[in-house]
Chains A and B, each alone.
Chain A
Amino acid sequence: MLEPHRLLTSLPDAIRKLNPATLWRNPVMFVVEIGAAFTTVLAIADPSGFAWAITGWLWLTVLFANLAEAVAEGRGKAQAATLRAARRDTTARRLRNGTPDGRAAWDVVGAAELRQGDVVVVEAGEIIPGDGDVVEGIASVDESAITGESAPVIRESGGDRCAVTGGTKVLSDRIVVRITRRPGESFIDRMIGLVEGADRQKTPNEIALNILLAALTIIFLVGVATMQPLAIYSKAQNPGIPDTLTLDSDGVTGVVLAALLVCLIPTTIGALLSAIGVAGMDRLVQRNVLAMSGRAVEAAGDVHTLLLDKTGTITLGNRQASEFVPVDGVSELELAEAAQLASLADETPEGRSVVVHAKRAYGLRERRPGELEHAEWAAFTAQTRMSGVDVNGRRIRKGAAAAVTEWIVVNGGRPGGDVAAIVDGVSASGGTPLVVGEATEDGARALGVIHLKDVVKEGIRERFAEMREMGIRTVMITGDNPVTARAIAREAGVDDFLAEATPEDKLALIKQEQEGGRLVAMTGDGTNDAPALAQADVGVAMNTGTSAAKEAGNMIDLDSSPTKLIEIVEIGKQLLITRGALTTFSIANDIAKYFAIIPAVFAAVYPGLDVLNIMRLHSPRSAILSAVVFNALVIVALIPLALRGVRYRPASASKLLSRNLSLYGLGGIVAPFVGIKIIDLLLPVMS
């Protein structure tokens, strides 16, 4: 997480960030820098070991803060370098007149000269010069430069797989691409900007937190400054007391005043705030998600309603055989065997699942088509809607209920009423019935029904229970009819479902949720998802999706994984929690620092105040230095936490709060007492 070499390589950046012209954006650390400059002047004017020690540690405090930010940004920089390599200057073959048909009529131009609407042709081995949509042809494309996934993907004209990204490489065939973005604004350019944090804008919550930190800084600035007349008065009231390192007739010495101020203002969170934000975006990038704005990441933490596509997210991609229901007079094993035989020539996932189920549930070994002699295979086609085998005068068919029933009738059999009853039962439970029939010389009959159903992904139910505990409502989106949808929804444990969903329905649902003040997150890939993606507060577009979808969403999932949305929500929450935890910790720290510094400064004039020195620090000088050293070191100690984020386990708000309050609130009160005491014990040993 935080290797020493990363600290070292980030050091030049950290030093560069000392420049006040950029540091003023961080009011807390800017004040520390002014304090450090102030004590430097004092130390030069009136040199002492104490003054220089404080000065050194104040500069280190600023440096550590810069280091935190630099380390956080450093990760993105490495990634950006890889991306830049992909964006090497390419040439493009631009078709004249922007028409795709003139095969030979092209100009060779630099990729940088391409404009929106230009049409280029790209052949195997060439780099796609810019973002666009395939308007003609089909090709396999290596997108590993942006997704890190080495398996090539298919891109073809029309449909939802037409978007190509500049910088990716065509591996086979030839495509004609219409450019949709200007160079410099391309996906890869935006990606570089995002991972580098170059155009990172502060999010609303970050701005609000900065305002609060500025307010606290002002309060302590005023508090420390106005202490001076009181200190002068108190010193004058006790004329017999000699001047000390901390207090003389001009009041509290400048070095101590600066030290006190730096200890009191919320430096810990001030130092780490920006690193937390950068690291949060980075955590998304690590999971191959690109957030177009930090705002979207925060919104992910606030989401009330998740719209999840059924297929791929909640259920496995395809329906699977789950049960064989025989008609009267046929044993289950008999049906299983027939179903297996009839499915051997069916290479569709449904067909495979019948074979798998027969093996798993009945121990029927999968037979290769070649094993059976004289067998004649009837493969599944969309026209016949069934598959089967003819062997030894026995013909077996399996397929859609209507198709097989008709086949039985044609072959002189009667399907019988109980088959129809089973078929209706399976349909009513949300499943898909496949009928198995056989025809011999004696006639044709139905053997039974294969129950195909959607298989809910393992662990998804628990995942949704966690979501519910976090206060997030899950809504399943499916094209299925309401009966099927309800059955799956119940099994998966989602809170609600939208059946027979059209893009318009989705959009209406999002608007309706938002009307009630809820924030909605969804994933989508098709062009017709674009309006809903744009309307959703968090719209995650699949990288495989159309450019319209990618344009409309505020995040892009390079893995195109439908479950990613859940992880995104967790990352959003983790980001906010990390901020809150460190803010609380930072403020709670101040108590101990007061107990270190107030007696150190004033116990000389009012010996009674020494009872506040509950840490029994051995001298005023050591007390103040220990507080300053602790204040600086705690920043370094917390950099890993800021980068990694606090541990997040899904739980209700109330539980999360109890846990984090005791950890970072109470911990924040106690930790500095222990830390300052230890430093106080170590300081004499070290010097």
Chain B
Amino acid sequence: MSGVVFIASLVVSLALVHRPLGDYMYRVYSGTRHSAVERVVYRLIGVRPDAEQTWGGYARAVLAFSAVSVLALYGLQRLQDRLFLSLGMGPVPDHIAWNTAISFVTNTNWQSYSGESTMGHLTQMAGLAVQNFVSAAAGMSVAIALVRGFARGRTDLLGNFWVDLVRGTIRILLPIAFVGALTLVAGGVVQNFAGPQELTTLTGGAQDVTGGPVASQEIIKELGTNGGGFYNANAAHPFENPTSWTNWIEIFAILLIPFSLPRAFGRMVGQVRQGHAITAIMAVMALTSVTLTGVFELSAGGTVPQAIGAALEGKEVRLGVADSAAFAAATTLTSTGAVNSFHDSYTPLGGMMTMVDMMLGEVAPGGAGSGLYGMLVLAVITVFVAGLMVGRTPEYLGKRIGPREIKLAGAYFLVMPILVLVGTALAMASPEQRASMLNSGPHGLSEVLYGFVSTSNNNGSAFAGLTVNTPWYDVVFGLCMVIGRFLPIILVLGLAGSLATQSAVPESAGTLPTHRPQFVGMVIGVTVILVALTFLPSLALGPLAEGLS
């Protein structure tokens, strides 16, 4: 019951907040004035803020920024012992440093290391936390560029990436993160510069636990749908997520921006109802997933869960089964990947839901920015498949979906499944990689599958149970993250460029309405069917085989 209140209060709060925040984001990205701070930043990086970019220019800017970020983050990790606040940690091993640099720049935050025993405070704050902000802002920028493609006509200009990046960081993420961090501190999350402290555990043993700037890191980790924890235990750690209350705030922060962006989208294309439709698609899928995950976890049928009354393995007693399941759904439905419980220990079908959430392409509501652009690509594909049935060349928001658009949207749709399927097949075909699996049988397969689904979708959560800090996995998962992030971004920007050059076709009674429940149902149907069709064989041999036995 408390689980229902927990989820219902989240739904109500998001419903209340998404509108003003969406409107605010619309103003941020549509404004023409630059603040003094922003002007200083533009001067420092040598950007003319009023010069707009074509899709190619925008894409090059995203890629250049990300490449520089990877190098900087890699360097910082490798040199951390020679800088200050290292807490005595040595340089991060090269394959882990490469994996981590990519992981944080791609908004994945896959962690093949344990934070408290690998990263010093400087690396955490100047490296990882900075990327938590800017990788989210970069994702939002790309989404906004795509929206501009829909909103504009007869132009090849999509805005200026640097301006979108700076505004997203300074005007949206920083203020919310500031307030959120203080709230978390009030809720009991740690925020200090302390070194290791010795604590006495429940069993009477002694344990060293590092303090640190946790709350500030925690909030942007959720808000930017990043997910990289200060501690290895991530949001299950009592210093990161001590109570039900902080748990609620963290889930709220995860869903806040992804659910508000459709509102900004509706405002930018001048039809608020189109934004409502996108929100509705996301909300229906998200609520279904949260409910199913909760039901599977609460009705666990194994011997131990029956005996103790709940499937508590891998979950924190202080958070409970229902709230943990809600967190698990939220973190995989977005590209967050923070965890407050261990998905490996979930019931087979509950664990499958976390994979299905990501396999949907992380669109319900998805990552900061990436959720919106992923969903819009799905809307384009849906319009194309079903829209023909109204007897017109398919159009979405007045833009025709022709060969070029479908080529880009189709290629976008191919990237993630191919990475996941090929990656999983390679790993399962190799005895050395199979050795990384903790379990045998279908559960072992699920562990590998989850790893590829998580990295290719830039989620970053781990099923756990797979030893991934090996050079092979570090490199391959690194590639999955890079390709899974940037290839779709390039395709989305190409799509935006192609849409922007078209002049809008006026709406008439013959136009496929894309704001009605009918359309909402269609997008959900197409998404679920395409995902089911792509991943059913692998799911059948992993979690389904386990869950149905």
Binding site for B on A (CB under 8 A): 204-205, 207-209, 211-212, 214-215, 218-220, 222-234, 237, 264, 298, 301-302, 304, 468-473, 516-518, 572-574, 576-577, 579-581, 583-584, 587-588, 590-591, 594, 598, 602, 605-609, 611-612, 648, 652-654, 656-658, 660-661, 664-665
Within B502-536, the residues touching A (CB, 8 Å) are 503-506, 508-513, 516, 518, 522, 525, 529-530, 532-536
With A584-B389, A654-B516, A664-B389 as given contacts, are A208 and B384 in contact (CB-CB < 8 Å)? yes
Bound CA span A653–B394, Å: 11
Interface centre among A227, A588, A657 (most CB of B within 10 A): A657
Q: Once the chains bind, are A609 and B533 in contact (CB under 8 Å)?
A: no
With A576-B393, A608-B545 as given contacts, are A594 and B510 in contact (CB-CB < 8 Å)? no
With A657-B390, A658-B518 as given contacts, are A471 and B428 in contact (CB-CB < 8 Å)? no
* Residue from B386, B403, B509 in contact with A471 in the complex, judged by beta carbons closer than 8 Å: B509
- Which one of B101-109, B205-213, B306-314, B434-442 is at the A interface? B434-442
Task: Label chain A's interface by main secondary structure.
Answer: helix
Give the residues in chain A near B401, CB-CB below 8 Å.
208
Q: Once the chains bind, are B505 and A656 in contact (CB under 8 Å)?
A: no
Q: Once the chains bind, are B389 and A222 in contact (CB under 8 Å)?
A: no
Produce 1/0 per residue, B180-201, CB < 8 A to A: 0000000000000000000000
Give the residues in chain A near B3, CB-CB below 8 Å.
none
CB distance from B529 to the nearest CB of A (A): 7
CB distance from A223 to the nearest CB of B (A): 6
- Which one of B134-142, B245-253, B417-425 is at the A interface? B417-425
Q: Once the chains bind, are B393 and A211 in contact (CB under 8 Å)?
A: no
* Residue from A229, A469, A583 in contact with B425 in the complex, judged by beta carbons closer than 8 Å: A229
Give the residues in chain B near A227, CB-CB below 8 Å.
425, 537-538, 541
Give the residues in chain A near B386, CB-CB below 8 Å.
580, 584, 657, 661, 665
Q: A219-B418, A472-B508 are in contact. List 12 more A-B contacts (CB 8 A).
A: A208-B405, A209-B388, A219-B414, A223-B535, A227-B425, A229-B425, A233-B428, A234-B442, A576-B391, A587-B529, A608-B547, A657-B518
Q: Once the chains bind, are A608 and B548 in contact (CB under 8 Å)?
A: yes
Q: Once the chains bind, are A602 and B541 in contact (CB under 8 Å)?
A: yes
Q: Once the chains bind, are A598 and B540 in contact (CB under 8 Å)?
A: yes
Q: Which residue of A lies closest to B425 (CB)?
A: A226
Binding site for A on B (CB under 8 A): 381, 384-393, 398, 401-403, 405-407, 410-411, 413-414, 417-418, 421-422, 424-426, 428-429, 434, 440-442, 445, 503-506, 508-513, 516, 518, 522, 525, 529-530, 532-538, 540-542, 544-545, 547-549
Give the residues in chain B near A264, CB-CB below 8 Å.
533
Give the residues in chain A near B413, CB-CB below 8 Å.
215, 219
With A222-B417, A653-B509 as given contacts, are A587 and B385 in contact (CB-CB < 8 Å)? yes
Bound CA span A577–B549, Å: 44
With A229-B428, A517-B503, A665-B525 as given contacts, are A590 and B549 in contact (CB-CB < 8 Å)? no
Q: Once the chains bind, are B393 and A298 in contact (CB under 8 Å)?
A: yes
Bound CA span A584–B442, Å: 33
CB distance from A610 to the nearest CB of B (A): 8
Give the residues in chain A near B418, CB-CB below 8 Å.
218-219, 222
4 tightest A-B contacts by CB? Answer: A580-B388, A471-B510, A573-B391, A471-B508
Q: Once the chains bind, are B421 and A223 in contact (CB under 8 Å)?
A: yes
CB distance from A654 to the nearest CB of B (A): 5
Q: Once the chains bind, are A573 and B402 in contact (CB under 8 Å)?
A: no
Q: Once the chains bind, are A517 and B505 in contact (CB under 8 Å)?
A: yes
With A204-B402, A608-B548, A653-B510 as given contacts, are A230 and B428 in contact (CB-CB < 8 Å)? yes
Bound CA span A584–B526, Å: 9
Bound CA span A223–B359, Å: 14
Give the residues in chain B near A472, CB-CB below 8 Å.
508, 510
Q: Once the chains bind, are A581 and B545 in contact (CB under 8 Å)?
A: no
CB distance from B393 to the nearest CB of A (A): 5
Q: Once the chains bind, are A228 and B425 in contact (CB under 8 Å)?
A: yes
Bound CA span A587–B417, Å: 17
CB distance from A72 to the nearest CB of B (A): 19
Interface centre among B392, B398, B522 (most CB of A within 10 A): B392
CB distance from A53 to the nearest CB of B (A): 23
Q: Once the chains bind, are B541 and A577 in contact (CB under 8 Å)?
A: no
Give the residues in chain B near A219, CB-CB below 8 Å.
413-414, 417-418, 533-534
With A208-B384, A518-B505 as given contacts, are A223 and B391 in contact (CB-CB < 8 Å)? no
Q: Which residue of A lies closest to B386 (CB)?
A: A584
CB distance from B531 to the nearest CB of A (A): 11
Q: Once the chains bind, are A577 and B410 in contact (CB under 8 Å)?
A: no
Bound CA span A574–B402, Å: 18
With A233-B428, A234-B442 as given contacts, are A205 and B393 in contact (CB-CB < 8 Å)? yes
CB distance from B231 to the nearest CB of A (A): 34
Q: Which residue of A lies closest to B504 (CB)?
A: A517
With A212-B406, A233-B434, A653-B513 as given contacts, are A302 and B393 in contact (CB-CB < 8 Å)? yes
Give the residues in chain B near A579, CB-CB below 8 Å.
388
With A211-B407, A228-B425, A661-B522 as given contacts, are A583 and B391 in contact (CB-CB < 8 Å)? no
Q: Once the chains bind, are B534 and A230 in contact (CB under 8 Å)?
A: no
Give the residues in chain A near B536, CB-CB below 8 Å.
594, 598
Q: Once the chains bind, are B389 and A657 in contact (CB under 8 Å)?
A: yes
Q: Once the chains bind, are B544 and A301 in contact (CB under 8 Å)?
A: no
Bound CA span A237–B505, Å: 57
* Residue from B385, B405, B538, B548 in contact with A580 in the complex, judged by beta carbons closer than 8 Å: B385
- 30 interchain pairs, CB-CB under 8 A: A204-B402, A209-B388, A219-B413, A219-B414, A219-B418, A222-B418, A223-B421, A225-B425, A226-B424, A227-B541, A230-B424, A298-B393, A301-B392, A304-B510, A468-B509, A471-B510, A471-B511, A573-B392, A576-B391, A580-B387, A587-B530, A591-B529, A598-B537, A608-B548, A608-B549, A609-B540, A609-B544, A609-B545, A654-B513, A665-B386
Q: Once the chains bind, are A584 and B508 in contact (CB under 8 Å)?
A: no
Interface centre among B407, B414, B510, B522 (most CB of A within 10 A): B510
Bound CA span A612–B544, Å: 10
Bound CA span A590–B445, Å: 25
Give the residues in chain B near A233, CB-CB below 8 Å.
428, 434, 445, 541
Q: Which residue of B lies closest to A575 (CB)?
A: B391
Give the residues in chain B near A228, CB-CB below 8 Å.
425
Q: Once the chains bind, are A470 and B509 in contact (CB under 8 Å)?
A: yes
Bound CA span A472–B388, Å: 17
Q: Which residue of A lies closest to B429 (CB)?
A: A229
CB distance from B279 to the nearest CB of A (A): 21
Give the residues in chain B near A608, CB-CB below 8 Å.
544-545, 547-549
CB distance from A620 to the nearest CB of B (A): 14
* Residue from B390, B516, B533 in contact with A577 in the complex, judged by beta carbons closer than 8 Å: B390
* Residue from A207, A304, A653 in contact with B506 in the complex, judged by beta carbons closer than 8 Å: A304
Interface centre among B391, B413, B445, B504 (most CB of A within 10 A): B391
